[in-house]
Chains A and B, each alone.
Chain A
Amino acid sequence: MPVTLVKERFPSKVGEVVLGATAEQGGTRTSTIVVGGDNLLPFLHFEGKVTNRPVIAMEVTDIVPPWNDAIKAQFGDVLDNPAAWAQKCVNEFGADLIYLKLIGADPEGFNRSPEDCARVVKEVLAAVGVPLVVVGCENAEKDNEVLAAVAEAGAGENLLVGLAEQDNYKSITAAAMVHKHNVIARSPLDINICKQLNILINEMGLPLNRIVIDPMIGGLGFGIEYAYSIMERARLGALANDKMLSMPMICTVGYEANRSKEANASVEEFPGWGDLAERGVLWETLTATALLQVGASILLMRNPEAVKLVQRNIADLVDAAVGA
């Protein structure tokens, strides 16, 4: 007897968000990226269509980052030059986007001015043709100034800027509205706050197709299963036509995976754990692949070796869809 596959049909789909703008669209990008759009649970291609493949945004910081040497060594001498670094990510490592993190703005650290930050953004925009994600230093007050300057400097480029959070979403949303960018809405692993924040931002007048959800995640071994279930809930909400949960999701994989001791401790310290270079790559890779399975659209990644593995994983998953 032939087996009939039970197919689930959902009434709605994940919303699509366009990032970047080409010359015709008023920007200077050589290509744009569309994320979201699926009407199925991730990669269940017999039930629907994988509309847009997940993308990788490689992390670039405006000052030399405090990362471990196993990662830093792979970038050579560009870490003090964001433009060259971004170029390397795109040209050598195949990054779909650049995730520029302006940690130099931190008042507790370098305390760079909003103008300096805006200048770095312009340099990176000039150096690469891919769309850009720009986030601040996670000091709410400073970010409000910095991101306003960034939004203005990047006007026309259709950036993805962040982070809008429950207690601090207004100025960044306003800046994005004025200069026509997209916003990352970050909620602390909480589906209700996620929804509330989307409603609040939307009520200010930013269209829903200009919001990307950052659900916050835990790296492998640090609560990834919790992130998984929150993301699954959001995806099911989107498919069930909950418009306030239907935005594509961005996951800060590179940041979370590399915070763990497991991604940083040397083999001398923990002889049983094996070589750090390989372990760090796998830690980030596994964090990324797990979250791909639950619907991540944009992966923020750091380690070029991990990027390579995840690119292959994405290709396999999407090709399977094409093959079917």
Chain B
Amino acid sequence: MAACQVKFMPESRTIEVEEGTSLVKAAAQAGIYIKSGCGAKGSCGACRVIVLGGEPEVRATGKLTPEDIARGVRLSCQTFVHGDVTVEVPPESRLQEHQVLMEDVQKGGLLQETEQDLLDKFSLHPLSTKVRVKLSEPTLTENASDWARLQLELRRVLAAGAKGVEIPLSVLQTLPEALRQAQWDVSVTLSEGEDKYTVVRVEKGNDRPPYGLAIDIGTTTVVVYLVDLSNGRVVDKQGTYNKQAKFGDDVISRIVYAVDAPGNLQEIQRAVIDTINSLTEQILSRQKLEPDDLGAGVAAGNTTMTQLFLGVDPRYVRLEPYIPTMNGVPPLKAKEIGLKMLSEGLVQCFPSVASYVGGDIVSGTMVTDMANSEEIVLFIDIGTNGEIVLGNQDWLVSCACSAGPCFEGGGILFGMRAMPGAIERVYIDPDSLDVTFKVVGRILPVGICGSGLVDALAKLREAGIIDRAGNFQMEHPSHSERLRLTPDDKEFVLAWAHQAGGDKDVVITENDVKNLIRAKGAIYAGIRSLLTMVAVDVDMISRIVIAGGFGNYLNVHDSVEIGLLPDVPAERYEFIGNSSVKGARLALLSQNAWHEAAELGKKMTYIELSVGTTFMDEFVSALFLPHTDLSLFPSVIS
């Protein structure tokens, strides 16, 4: 079919679409969202546009009056591109995204990820450095060995002092040719440990900076940052689903699989290494770099993920009394586990606290800086497990509750990670049930991510589409076609297929809602249990730091409204996004940070929620919007 130009006014935005595309769909492709109450059936009349030029094909005019038609008004869902067209989209036909954004900002409840950099505090002193040295050529009289010559010069340049400078065999094997081909002008990459430097690469002299990888190994998603170790800058980042997902959604089913048959442990280890390597490859090819440019890596993951990453049998993590094989992990070389990096490159893993509070939380706790705070801070990492840390400079307690992968998009029909195409904000008009949404990357929506789900749950409730128990109310006074019954479930249409990037309506089902209520209930119950056990009242907490990969925003207002987070003033909240990978970056860049992480791991007291009935009691009370104890949510009820 022929391509046609469609120009949208007053933006003057022109796009090219195939002939026969509906105007509403063309507008969506141009980033202009037009209202649609009826799902492009031509019956509601909300999607009026004015055709200013061209002869589009009109299949129906619905309720439009002859006067309207005479002045060019058309229903954009029933009008199809035929030749080039110019169309005006009047304000009343547009979904008003900006109004909604403003509204939330005024409520003070919408937090964007904060980017405070603790690197200043820790000082730049990366785990891997690169130096350029020019050696004098050996002669018959100046006949020290290649390595002695290099070592001497490195000691001088690095001001190594009491620290040793070592070289492993594999680098030594390449040394004579490397030095001579480079005509004695070489760049040397070294990793730095507690008491020694280790040469990991010798190459022709250049001024390219050393790079490293900060890796967050999540149960559901894996994120890799490429970091320039000379200045701390994050050059590139990439995330994807953990390939281990095919062996189960949560750590328990992964462990079960890993120990089920011989070879499974290796297979499941391979899966996560492959995940990381494929992310690394994508980044490297974008940045035109080689694996050999990556001199160091720091990985943070929960205890099970760390054990699987290292190929350490995780079975006792699952079995009472839940004992991990190790908390601290010795320094590794990339080649030992097959990471796509410099093979001799240093890889460090964050230490764990207990079987269900892992290195990712130690990493996140470091990012919150709570261990240096006089006042009490609450840190909540919302992932597949909800992990919670409470304390200040004098004490830290932690616990974990199994929330499931909902907020990362798992177990939700149209759930997805917070990546381009994910609906991240939702607004539902309580009268008409029309939906306004914001999509990551401003492209057509294909699914919904964690922050969008938090929003959706709150808005479904506000609009009376679900009751406080999460049941769909099919007799909604709007009689909206968005609320419908399918053979499998009850569902609500967030985005009609013609506004979406796929060919299906993007919906949220009653089952999704129930899963979300269980997930939010588990997290809130974990918070309450921990507070109860240390007898701290929520009002005594000065700062609540939320982490998690569920989106670019945290809508505090909606999170409180659904009972995910405690009802305290929004000013006390802070959202730091993926704290695990951020902590990994810090540790990669600063020896001080790495040492603090090791200390933090030892300092945290772990509280096992499965002992006693507190957690279970709290959990069942929290399976309601916001909670069965309404006195905990005064701002929601009044």
Measured CB to CB, the residues of A under 8 A from B are 166-167, 192, 195-196, 199-200, 203, 242, 244
> How far apart are the CA atoms of A200 and B631 in the complex, in Å?
15
**Pairwise interchain contact A192-B468, C-beta atoms closer than 8 A:** no
**Pairwise interchain contact B624-A203, C-beta atoms closer than 8 A:** no
> How far apart are the CA atoms of A200 and B469 in the complex, in Å?
8
Measured CB to CB, the residues of B under 8 A from A are 467-469, 471, 620-621, 623-624, 628-631
Q: List chain A residues, Cβ under 8 A from B621.
A: 192, 195
| A192-B631 contact given A199-B468, A200-B467, CB 8 Å threshold | no
Q: List chain B residues, Cβ under 8 A from A192.
A: 620-621, 623-624, 628
Q: List chain A residues, Cβ under 8 A from B468.
A: 196, 199-200, 203
Q: List chain A residues, Cβ under 8 A from B631.
A: 242
Residue of A nearest to B628 (CB): A195
Q: List chain A residues, Cβ under 8 A from B623.
A: 192
> How far apart are the CA atoms of A199 and B628 in the complex, in Å?
8
B interface secondary structure, majority: loop
Given A167-B471, A199-B628, A242-B631, 10 new contacts (CB under 8 A):
A192-B620, A192-B621, A192-B624, A192-B628, A195-B628, A195-B629, A199-B630, A200-B467, A242-B629, A244-B630
Residue of B nearest to A169 (CB): B467
> How far apart are the CA atoms of A232 and B469 in the complex, in Å?
24
> How far apart are the CA atoms of A196 and B624 in the complex, in Å?
7
Provide a sorted-by-A list of 12 A–B residue pairs whose CB atoms are within 8 angstroms: A192-B621, A195-B621, A195-B624, A195-B629, A196-B469, A196-B628, A199-B468, A199-B628, A200-B467, A203-B467, A242-B631, A244-B630
Q: List chain B residues, Cβ under 8 A from A166.
A: 469
> How far apart are the CA atoms of A318 and B630 in the complex, in Å?
34
Interface centre among A196, A200, A203 (most CB of B within 10 A): A196
Residue of B nearest to A237 (CB): B629
Could you tell me the distance in whole angstroms from the C-beta of B475 to the nearest C-beta in chain A? 8
> How far apart are the CA atoms of A203 and B471 in the complex, in Å?
14
Residue of B nearest to A190 (CB): B620
Could you tell me the distance in whole angstroms from the C-beta of B278 to the nearest C-beta in chain A? 45
Could you tell me the distance in whole angstroms from the C-beta of A245 to the nearest C-beta in chain B? 9
> How far apart are the CA atoms of A192 and B629 in the complex, in Å?
9
Could you tell me the distance in whole angstroms from the C-beta of B237 to the nearest C-beta in chain A? 42
> How far apart are the CA atoms of A244 and B633 in the complex, in Å?
14
How many pairs of residues, A versus B, come closer than 8 Å at their CB atoms?
Answer: 28
> How far apart are the CA atoms of A200 and B470 in the complex, in Å?
11
> How far apart are the CA atoms of A237 and B469 in the complex, in Å?
21
The 4 closest A-B pairs by CB, nearest first: A195-B628, A192-B620, A192-B628, A196-B624
Could you tell me the distance in whole angstroms from the C-beta of A247 to the nearest C-beta in chain B? 14
Residue of B nearest to A241 (CB): B631
> How far apart are the CA atoms of A169 and B624 in the complex, in Å?
16
Q: List chain B residues, Cβ under 8 A from A199.
A: 468, 624, 628, 630
> How far apart are the CA atoms of A199 and B468 in the complex, in Å?
8
Residue of A nearest to B475 (CB): A170
> How far apart are the CA atoms of A242 and B628 in the complex, in Å?
10
Interface centre among A166, A192, A203 (most CB of B within 10 A): A192
> How far apart are the CA atoms of A244 and B623 in the complex, in Å?
16
Interface centre among B467, B621, B631 (most CB of A within 10 A): B467
| A244-B469 contact given A192-B620, A192-B621, A192-B623, CB 8 Å threshold | no
> How far apart are the CA atoms of A11 and B467 in the complex, in Å?
31
Q: List chain B residues, Cβ under 8 A from A203.
A: 467-468
Q: List chain A residues, Cβ under 8 A from B471.
A: 167
Could you tell me the distance in whole angstroms from the C-beta of A193 to the nearest C-beta in chain B? 9
> How far apart are the CA atoms of A192 and B619 in the complex, in Å?
10
**Pairwise interchain contact A244-B628, C-beta atoms closer than 8 A:** yes
Q: List chain B residues, Cβ under 8 A from A242.
A: 629, 631
Q: List chain A residues, Cβ under 8 A from B469.
A: 166, 196, 200
> How far apart are the CA atoms of A192 and B468 in the complex, in Å?
13
Interface centre among B469, B620, B621 (most CB of A within 10 A): B469
Q: List chain A residues, Cβ under 8 A from B629.
A: 195, 242
Residue of A nearest to B622 (CB): A192
> How far apart are the CA atoms of A196 and B469 in the complex, in Å?
7
> How far apart are the CA atoms of A248 and B390 in the complex, in Å?
40
Q: List chain B residues, Cβ under 8 A from A195.
A: 621, 624, 628-629
> How far apart are the CA atoms of A193 and B468 in the complex, in Å?
11
Q: List chain B residues, Cβ under 8 A from A196.
A: 468-469, 624, 628
> How far apart are the CA atoms of A244 and B624 in the complex, in Å?
13
Q: List chain B residues, Cβ under 8 A from A244.
A: 628, 630
Q: List chain B residues, Cβ under 8 A from A200.
A: 467-469
Q: List chain A residues, Cβ under 8 A from B630.
A: 199, 244
> How far apart are the CA atoms of A199 and B624 in the complex, in Å?
10
> How far apart are the CA atoms of A200 and B620 in the complex, in Å?
16
Residue of B nearest to A199 (CB): B468
Could you tell me the distance in whole angstroms from the C-beta of B86 to the nearest C-beta in chain A? 50
> How far apart are the CA atoms of A167 and B474 in the complex, in Å?
13
Q: List chain A residues, Cβ under 8 A from B624.
A: 192, 195-196, 199
> How far apart are the CA atoms of A200 and B628 in the complex, in Å?
10
Residue of A nearest to B469 (CB): A196
> How far apart are the CA atoms of A242 and B469 in the complex, in Å?
19
> How far apart are the CA atoms of A47 and B628 in the complex, in Å?
29
Interface centre among A166, A195, A199, A203 (most CB of B within 10 A): A199
Could you tell me the distance in whole angstroms from the C-beta of A188 to the nearest C-beta in chain B? 13
> How far apart are the CA atoms of A200 and B467 in the complex, in Å?
7
> How far apart are the CA atoms of A192 and B618 in the complex, in Å?
10
> How far apart are the CA atoms of A199 and B467 in the complex, in Å?
10
Residue of B nearest to A166 (CB): B469
> How far apart are the CA atoms of A192 and B617 in the complex, in Å?
9
> How far apart are the CA atoms of A195 and B628 in the complex, in Å?
6
Could you tell me the distance in whole angstroms from the C-beta of A286 to the nearest C-beta in chain B? 30
Could you tell me the distance in whole angstroms from the C-beta of B637 to the nearest C-beta in chain A? 9
> How far apart are the CA atoms of A195 and B469 in the complex, in Å?
11
Could you tell me the distance in whole angstroms from the C-beta of A82 to the nearest C-beta in chain B? 33
> How far apart are the CA atoms of A242 and B629 in the complex, in Å?
8
Residue of A nearest to B621 (CB): A192
Could you tell me the distance in whole angstroms from the C-beta of A172 to the nearest C-beta in chain B? 15
> How far apart are the CA atoms of A166 and B469 in the complex, in Å?
9
> How far apart are the CA atoms of A200 and B630 in the complex, in Å?
12
Could you tell me the distance in whole angstroms from the C-beta of B383 to the nearest C-beta in chain A? 26
Residue of A nearest to B620 (CB): A192
> How far apart are the CA atoms of A289 and B628 in the complex, in Å?
30
> How far apart are the CA atoms of A195 and B620 in the complex, in Å?
11
Could you tell me the distance in whole angstroms from the C-beta of B588 to the nearest C-beta in chain A? 46
Could you tell me the distance in whole angstroms from the C-beta of A99 to the nearest C-beta in chain B? 28
> How far apart are the CA atoms of A199 and B623 in the complex, in Å?
13
> How far apart are the CA atoms of A67 and B620 in the complex, in Å?
38
Interface centre among B621, B624, B628, B630 (most CB of A within 10 A): B628
Could you tell me the distance in whole angstroms from the C-beta of A104 to the nearest C-beta in chain B? 28
Could you tell me the distance in whole angstroms from the C-beta of B410 to the nearest C-beta in chain A? 26
> How far apart are the CA atoms of A242 and B631 in the complex, in Å?
8
